[in-house]
């Protein structure tokens, strides 16, 4: 089963209009463009902006996904270019917005960064329950100043709204996929428990210190979670990171001969045994058995709007990057391409095929991370 997205509209072109009291309006002209992960029967929308007495208000569209996010970023840049010195406050009006995906979230983060650079106050107003739920899930409600909070009546609709938010991709709603994750997570943890003692002893003999390594990663819609692995590097690996050359283009970091990796660590990475504790993340629902590569918060800080689309699905213990030579991938664009390829081709059978390929890859020279 292929996930066919409807055709939506987008554009970077802006139309400038002026009328009384120095009020300016920007309207994004739209053109046909394919959108991934959108609900059916979505309709084209525009972004309008008014500027009065140093305060700019951007009225966001009903559907705020990748194409609208790109338009929104263009509008923000145009506003700062035209009124940078006179702009004191940027207000984002969500009154009409009922759908927000990871690309929309990414454009908000980029907009906030732009406001910080220009020392401009940013305020979110008329935030409806659907948008508020997305912001709350990703802790962005603690980052942004929000003028309108949820009422008790709106909070009671949380479950229904979550079903609508989860329409970012069909894999998120799939009960069969979740059942497969639970079953695979339990089996994987059982195997991990059996291997724990010999792996723990080997780690301690090679480089005494913690058995596990944990790190904050980003899941569906940018939700933060703590990922777990068997430690494969020296204890002070993060402190030594600046001394290691990055061989990958873009926000990723990788070195095939990273000197921080221990002898036991190289074996664990070669066999992917270091990732077995992540079955706990799969069982908890932070990850899936199959999905996209889980990024770090520092990594998504460098994302442009299109790259945020990869957060429309859960990250996976394995995925396209794992079975297509993850150690040989040197460009961030290739990672994005593989992640989007997974989203486009997803089906339960496609997941099963990737799991089978992963098992086969583990027994080849191309297995494991560098």
With a cut of 60, say whether residue 4 has pLDDT above it.
Answer: no
Do 65 and 103 contact (CB within 8 A), yes or no?
A: yes
Do 294 and 219 contact (CB within 8 A), yes or no?
A: yes
Among 66, 48, 70, 65, smallest CA distance to 57 is for 48
Token output for 227: 């990922």
pLDDT above 70: percentage of residues in the chain: 79
- pTM for this prediction: 0.73
**Average pLDDT of 44-67?**
86
State pLDDT tens for residues 184-235.
Answer: 999 999 999 999 999 999 999 999 999 999 999 999 988 899 999 999 999 9
Do 307 and 336 contact (CB within 8 A), yes or no?
A: yes
* Owner of token pair 């003999």: 205
> Residue 26: in which H helix or E strand, if any?
strand 23-28
- Residue 96 has, within 13 A of its CA and on its CB side, a CA count of 13
Handedness of CA 69, 216, 291, 300 (dihedral sign): positive
3-state SS assignment for residue 316: strand
Distances, alpha carbon 252 to alpha carbons 113, 290, 292, 332, 343, in Å: 20, 20, 14, 7, 20
DSSP output for 42-65: ------EEEEETTEEEEE--SEES
Poorest-confidence range of 113-117, 134-138, 224-228, 311-315? 134-138
What pLDDT, on a 0 to 100 scale, did the predictor assign at position 167? 65
> Residue 178: in which H helix or E strand, if any?
helix 175-206
Cα–Cα distance measured from residue 155 to residue 160, given in angstroms and rounded to the nearest whole number: 10
What pLDDT, on a 0 to 100 scale, did the predictor assign at position 26? 36
Residue ranges of alpha helices (H) inside 207-285 are 237-240, 263-271, 279-284
What pLDDT, on a 0 to 100 scale, did the predictor assign at position 115? 92
State pLDDT tens for residues 137-153.
Answer: 888 888 899 986 555 55
pLDDT higher at 158 or 171: 171
Beta-ladder partners of 50: 57
Among 297, 293, 337, smallest CA distance to 317 is for 293
**Average pLDDT of 249-264?**
84
Domains and CATH numbers, the chain: 7-168 (3.30.750.24), 171-361 (no CATH)
* Owner of token pair 């020279």: 365
Do 80 and 113 contact (CB within 8 A), yes or no?
A: no
Q: How many CB atoms lie within 10 A of CB 4?
A: 8
Poorest-confidence range of 27-36, 59-68, 190-199, 299-308? 27-36
Do 249 and 338 contact (CB within 8 A), yes or no?
A: no
Q: If you average pLDDT over every residue of the chain, what do you get? A: 81
């Amino acid at each position: 089963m292929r996930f066919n997205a409807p055709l939506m509209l987008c554009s970077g072109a802006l139309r400038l209009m002026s009328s009384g009291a120095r009020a300016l309006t920007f309207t994004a002209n739209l053109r046909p463009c394919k959108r991934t992960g959108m609900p059916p029967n979505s309709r084209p929308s525009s972004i309008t902006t008014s500027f009065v007495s140093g305060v700019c208000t951007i009225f966001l569209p009903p559907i705020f996904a990748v194409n609208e996010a790109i338009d929104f970023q263009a509008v923000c840049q145009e506003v700062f270019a035209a009124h940078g010195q006179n702009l004191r406050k940027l207000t984002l009006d969500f009154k009409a917005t009922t759908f927000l995906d990871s690309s929309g979230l990414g454009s908000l983060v980029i907009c906030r960064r732009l406001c910080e650079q220009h020392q401009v106050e940013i305020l979110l107003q008329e935030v409806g329950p659907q948008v508020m739920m997305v912001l709350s899930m990703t802790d962005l409600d603690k980052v942004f100043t929000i003028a309108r909070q949820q009422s008790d009546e709106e909070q009671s609709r949380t479950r229904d709204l979550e079903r609508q938010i989860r329409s970012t991709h069909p894999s998120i709603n799939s009960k069969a996929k979740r059942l497969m994750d639970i079953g695979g997570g339990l089996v994987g943890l059982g195997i991990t428990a059996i291997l724990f003692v010999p792996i723990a002893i080997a780690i301690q003999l090679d480089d005494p210190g913690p058995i596990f390594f944990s790190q904050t990663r980003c899941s569906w819609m940018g939700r933060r979670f703590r990922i777990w692995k068997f430690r494969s590097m020296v204890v002070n690996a993060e402190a030594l990171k600046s001394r290691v050359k990055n061989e990958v283009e873009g926000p990723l970091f990788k070195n095939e001969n990273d000197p921080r990796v221990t002898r036991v660590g190289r074996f664990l990475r070669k066999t992917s045994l270091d990732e077995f504790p992540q079955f706990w993340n799969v069982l908890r629902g932070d990850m899936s058995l199959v999905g996209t590569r889980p990024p770090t918060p520092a990594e998504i800080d460098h994302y442009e709007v299109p790259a945020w689309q990869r957060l429309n699905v859960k990250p996976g213990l394995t995925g396209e990057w794992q079975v297509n030579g993850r150690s040989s991938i040197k460009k961030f664009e290739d990672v994005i391409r593989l992640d989007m390829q997974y989203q486009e081709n997803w089906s339960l059978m496609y997941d099963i095929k990737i799991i089978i390929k992963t098992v086969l890859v583990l027994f080849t020279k191309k297995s494991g991370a560098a």
